[in-house]
């Protein structure tokens, strides 16, 4: 019986369950990828990352963006399995990618990132409003139970509840967009109009951008001067050499899939 291979894209994590991050090995190539992404974020450039399939580009992007830590509840709200900041957006290009669809998908992804940042503030505001509501209900009940109380003696409306609501709404509006880097996986699928849409998103925002694709994407993008002029860094994601693989094996950190295949070959 064949052992099923893991899904290429990690499924959304749920609280109390194991995620693929437990089996992720931070190799030298991943460290270089992190440095490359940090540079694109810091200097707000567009970066190109390319490499052959199956060497960990997508898993590295998932790890760096912390996408597997995000739990999506519905179209607008999300949360994370920890309290670490979320400031990187991971977008996987679909096979059919029109400019309007790209704009819509990235805006929705940004809303989810924003919802994670605003969630603590919203919980704080909800708790404050609940306390005010309980206090006002208690006061209203006491007035109704007071002997001789008349509806004409009803006090004026206490504006505290509405003022508190407006105060927290103002705090939410004051929070800046937390996204400082956009990772675009499967960037080879982007056509000319879609690349122009990516350039427009980059120009309108304050975030860096990284396109992740196959070897040759750097030559293809060079044919679009308006887009290519914004590229500041190019990174080649290389496979591990023999010494790096040996080091991982010596640390007994062989990936589960490789261990399964190795054991099968030994039995043969």
Mean per-residue pLDDT over the chain, rounded: 80
224 pLDDT exceeds 70? yes
At 256 the pLDDT is 52
pLDDT grade, residue 16 (50/70/90)? very low
**pLDDT per residue as tens digits for the range 35-56:** 999 999 999 999 999 999 988 8
At 84 the pLDDT is 76
At 155 the pLDDT is 65
CA distance 82 to 24: 18
At 147 the pLDDT is 81
| HEC secondary structure over 21-80 | HHHCCCCHHHHHHHHHHHHHHHHCCEEEEECCCCCCHHHHHHHHHCHHHEEECCCCCEEE
- Domains of the chain plus CATH, in order, are 20-106+177-267 (3.40.50.300), 121-172 (no CATH)
CA distance 154 to 113: 45
């Amino acid at each position: 019986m064949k052992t099923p291979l893991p899904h290429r894209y990690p499924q959304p994590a749920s609280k109390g369950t194991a995620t693929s991050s437990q089996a992720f090995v931070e190799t030298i190539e991943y460290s270089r990828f992190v440095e490359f992404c940090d540079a694109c974020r810091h200097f707000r450039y567009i970066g190109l990352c390319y490499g052959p399939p199956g060497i960990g580009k997508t898993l590295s992007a998932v790890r760096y963006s912390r996408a597997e830590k995000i739990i999506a509840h519905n179209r607008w709200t999300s949360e994370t399995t920890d309290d670490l900041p979320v400031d990187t957006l991971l977008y996987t290009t679909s096979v059919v990618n029109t400019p309007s669809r790209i704009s819509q998908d990235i805006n929705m992804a940004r809303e989810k990132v924003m919802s994670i940042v605003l969630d603590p503030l919203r919980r704080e505001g909800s708790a404050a409003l609940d306390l005010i509501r309980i206090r006002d209900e208690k006061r209203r009940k006491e007035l109704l139970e007071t002997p001789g109380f008349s509806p004409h003696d009803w006090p004026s409306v206490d504006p505290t509840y509405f003022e508190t609501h407006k105060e927290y709404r103002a705090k939410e509006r004051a929070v800046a967009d937390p996204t400082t880097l956009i990772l675009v996986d499967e960037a080879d699928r982007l056509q000319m109009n879609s690349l122009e849409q990516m350039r427009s998103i980059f120009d309108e925002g304050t975030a860096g951008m990284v396109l992740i694709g196959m070897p040759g994407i750097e030559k293809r993008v060079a044919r679009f001067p308006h887009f290519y002029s914004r590229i500041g860094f190019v990174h080649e994601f290389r496979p591990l050499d023999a010494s790096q693989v040996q080091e991982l094996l010596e640390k007994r950190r062989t990936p589960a899939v490789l261990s399964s295949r190795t054991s099968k070959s030994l039995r043969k």
